[in-house]
Structure 1
Amino acid sequence: MAGLAQSGSNPDVELLYDINGLAKDAPHWFDRVMEFVGEFGLLFAMVLLVLWCWWTVSRRASAEEAASSVAALVWAPLAAGIAVLVNVPIRGFVERPRPFRDHQGLEVLVSGKDDFSFVSDHATLTMAMAVALFVANRRFGLIGIGLALLEGFCRVYMGVHYPTDVIGGFALGTAVALLLSPLAMALLTPLTRAVERSPRAGRLIRRRSPEGGAVTPGTRAETVPDTEKDLAA
């Protein structure tokens, strides 16, 4: 892999120079913004997006959908963590140096990147969360995928990854999020259903009844059948 990256005719290297070359022409302040966004900002934005989706789901989902939807959201950060752990032996096996070690003239915006390059942890993290989020909610998931794509662009722009490092991260994050999703849902959904039945913690799963009224899970207003309500009336 390292030998391939050193080839000047390699489209991977050419695209690296094309994207990273934008950093040389950009104002200094813009490079600093891209550095923050690519290193921390988009990861933080992805976490906020998952929390926003949870808030929306807990308020609007029906009794039948709430537990499974929240379970899918819980899976998002777990999928990201597992994907990064899977990447540890991949990096050690491939041992691809950072692009600035093999190629001159790159504008490197972040210092201290001494580990291997393939695959990108940031791309893996964001795409794993985005795909898992898409499984839970398509609208929020599409926003997450957009953030993940922007993260990948930032990593190349910053001069710390090849484009194929980012593509590999996207593939790894997607594979972990999708392939392990059935097992994760089978384990997490019973847990979220148990939390939903709790009078206090149940509000983490569902804050409103299907009709829109505020209901505390586990109370009689939620559990009494419609036939009994009619008789009581």
Structure 2
Amino acid sequence: MAGLANGFPVTEASGTNPDVSLLYDINGLAKDAPGWFDRTMEFVGEYGIMLALVLVALWCWWSVRRSGTREDSVAAVAGLVWAPLAAGIALLVNIPIRGFVQRPRPFYDHDGLEVLVQGKTDFSFVSDHSTMAMAIAAALFITHRRFGAVALVLAAAEGFCRVYMGVHYPTDVIGGFALGTAVVLLLAPLALALLTPLVSALASTRLLGPLVRSRAADGALKAEPVDIPEPRGEGKDPGANGLAA
């Protein structure tokens, strides 16, 4: 029998609601998995993927400061600084959204779920973890396509883990992905317009400059030979080429 709770459909089983049906399908995998795998997924979903996103961002920073021109490094580092800022802003935006929607966690309204993380008493829509993961991934993608693609895969895995753990509906995850992406894309022009000059100024300082641009990379650019075209015969001796006058 189905009802409504805070505007969302509630069913005792998966029923015909695709959101709840997908919740049971994904979370059902946790019931069939061995205990060690569920404990691994619990750690990955709560902390592991977020840590992996931080490591990808650090790897991207290490790469961009050692390649390309100084302007490329400044623009990329500004984009990397925007990533955690965008995630923080997205989480702040989610506070009134959660308070307005007030959707309970799925295990309050649906029996038979395998809940891997206990003690979740806050509202479910939208998922903070999914919001933060996608905000970081989207910011990385507009900064560096290769590292951003890796981050997007990690963000998708984060969303899957939240449903697998029984603490979010699939639509909570989708809402988080949409919120994180929207904050990054809508505010990126203003944020980068402010951050790029700041990062450029820091790159010019002796103390903080290496955080933006590797000195080895600058030295390699200066050491590159410059091709100077030879003059085309102006003032040359006619016999210089071994030809008789």
Could you say which residue in structure 2 is the equivalent of 1:47? Answer: 54
**Corresponding position of 1:4:** 8
How many residues in Structure 1 have an aligned counterpart in Structure 2?
218
The residue that corresponds to 2:164 in the other structure is 157
1:210 positional shift: 5.8
User: For the residues of structure 1 that align with 2:184 and 2:135, how far apart are their CA atoms?
Assistant: 5
| Aligned partners of 1:195 and 1:201 also within 8 Å | yes
- Of 172, 187, 196, which residue of structure 2 is paired with 1:189? 196
Higher fraction of helix:
1
With over 3 angstroms needed to count, the CA separation of the structure-2 counterparts of 1:138 and 1:212, relative to structure 1, is: farther
CA contact (8 A) 2:89 2:183 kept: yes
Gaps of at least 5 residues in structure 1 are 215-220, 227-233
- Structure 1 runs (4+) deviating above 2 angstroms are 1-5, 208-214
Corresponding residue of 1:61: 68
8 Å Cα contact 1:4-1:10 kept in structure 2: no
Equivalents in 2 of 1:177, 1:87: separation in Å? 14
Q: Which has the larger radius of gyration?
A: 2
Give the match for residue 233 of structure 2.
Answer: none
Q: CA RMSD in A?
A: 1.9
- In the other structure, the counterpart of 1:231 is none
The structural deviation recorded for 1:66 is: 1.2
TM-score (norm 1): 0.89
Contact 1:71 1:188 in 2 (8 A): yes
Give the unaligned 5+ runs of structure 2.
Answer: 227-245
Percent identity between matched residues is 66
Shift of 1:9: 1.7
Equivalent in 100, 117, 125 of residue 93 of structure 1:
100
Within the alignment, does 1:127 sit opposite 2:134 as a pair? yes
Aligned to 1:230: none
Q: Which moved more, 1:76-85 or 1:205-214?
A: 205-214
2: CA distance, partners of 1:36 / 1:173: 22
**Deviation at 1:64?**
2.0
Moved more, 20-29 or 193-202: 193-202
- Is the Cα–Cα contact under 8 Å of residues 83 and 172 in structure 1 kept in the other structure? yes
* TM-score normalised to structure 2 length: 0.85
Tell me, in whole angstroms, the C-alpha distance in 1 between the residues paired with 2:56 and 2:71: 23
